[in-house]
Amino acid sequence: MEDDFVAFESVAEESTSLFLKAEDEDLNLEDLCGDAGVLLKRVRIAQDRSRRPSKDLPYVEVHYQGYLATTGEKFDSSRDSGYSFVVMLSEKQRTVIRGWEKALPHMCIGDSCELEVSAEYGYGKDGSPPDIPPDATLRFEIEVLDVRRTPKPEELGSLGESNEARLEQVRRERELAAQRRLEEKAAKEAAKADAAARAQARLANKGQKKGGKKRG
CATH fold of 2-161, please? Answer: Chitinase A; domain 3 (3.10.50)
Cβ burial, residue 206 (10 Å; 0-12/13-18/19+): exposed
CA dihedral defined by 117, 95, 4, 27, rounded to 10 degrees? Answer: -20
The set of catalytic residues is 64, 75-76, 97, 123, 140
Residue 28 CA to chain centroid, in angstroms? Answer: 25
Sign of the dihedral defined by the CA atoms of residues 182, 186, 187, 189, in that order: positive
Residue 41 dihedral angles phi and psi, to the nearest 5°: -120, 120
Task: Give the pLDDT band of residue 213 (cuts 50, 70, 90).
Answer: low
Burial pattern 119-144, b for ≥16 Cβ within 10 A else e, equals bbbbbbeeebeebbbeebbbbbbbbb
pLDDT band at 168 (very low <50, low <70, confident <90, very high): low
pLDDT band at 177 (very low <50, low <70, confident <90, very high): low
Q: What is the pLDDT of residue 102?
A: 95
Q: Write out the DSSP string of 25-39.
A: H---EEESSSSSSEE
Distance, in Å, from the CA atom of 150 to the CA atom of 51, rounded to the nearest integer, reads 14
Contact 145, 1 (CB under 8 A): yes
pLDDT at 172 over 70: no
Q: Is the confidence at residue 212, as pLDDT, over 80?
A: no
Boundaries of every domain in the chain: 2-161, 168-216
